[in-house]
Chain A
Amino acid sequence: DAGVTQSPTHLIKTRGQQVTLRCSPKSGHDTVSWYQQALGQGPQFIFQYYEEEERQRGNFPDRFSGHQFPNYSSELNVNALLLGDSALYLCASSLWGSSGSYEQYFGPGTRLTVT
């Protein structure tokens, strides 16, 4: 049973460009959350998708957008990249409707470097 997978593992982009990161949830999960982890900091919640809609959003600008597909996989898009967007982007999957006590499973992350 595959866990959460993310692609690519590493990515280098230039300021102003756009990037798309991908995530496949753990088998049986229907909800995907995205987190940004800057170097030396804890992950910060970006947004959460369920039934192809954004359900919760953290304090991130509209440059950050996402999508969820019918097979529950998800994409994170970032437009007009800034140097400060350099970070590890983590995807987590879970079951919709589960309480806050339900464990979220994390993928290995995508390391984005903006130059």
Chain B
Amino acid sequence: AQSVTQLDSHVSVSEGTPVLLRCNYSSSYSPSLFWYVQHPNKGLQLLLKYTSAATLVKGINGFEAEFKKSETSFHLTKPSAHMSDAAEYFCVVSPINAGNMLTFGGGTRLMVKP
């Protein structure tokens, strides 16, 4: 069984300040972990993924995430927020060797103030 908890349903930051979106996971298998972004009226886009290689993962648009097994966390960060980052973000877990069914967290809505 696997599950994902996104600790904040809404996060608000000012443009140019750091972004932190928190995610904790639970998985019976060694997991793959992903962050997806969903802009209004658009499909889900992959930001980055962890697949048991380097624990610090770099993604698109300046985002990165760190896999911490001891804390079962996979938090998403960005040093400086841009207005275009405003969107819904989903943390996702998938069993690395048991099919590829994705389990999504509830989502975090990121708001960026000018």
Binding site for B on A (CB under 8 A): 4, 33, 35, 40-45, 48, 55-56, 58, 90, 92, 94, 98-104, 106-109
Residues in chain B within 8 A of chain A (CB atoms) = 4, 29, 31-32, 34, 36, 41-46, 49, 51-52, 90, 94-107
Shortest beta-carbon distance, A45 to chain B, in Å?
A: 5
A contact patch SS: loop
Q: With contacts A56-B99, A100-B99, A103-B46 known, what are 19 further pairs, Cβ within 8 A? A: A4-B43, A33-B100, A33-B101, A35-B102, A42-B4, A42-B105, A42-B106, A45-B101, A45-B102, A99-B51, A99-B96, A100-B29, A100-B98, A101-B32, A101-B52, A101-B94, A101-B96, A103-B49, A106-B43
Residue of A nearest to B45 (CB): A106
Q: Using a Cβ cutoff of 8 Å, how many contacts connect chains A and B?
A: 70
Task: State A108–B41 Cα separation when bound (angstroms).
Answer: 8
Residues of B contacting A4 in the complex (Cβ-Cβ under 8 angstroms) = 43
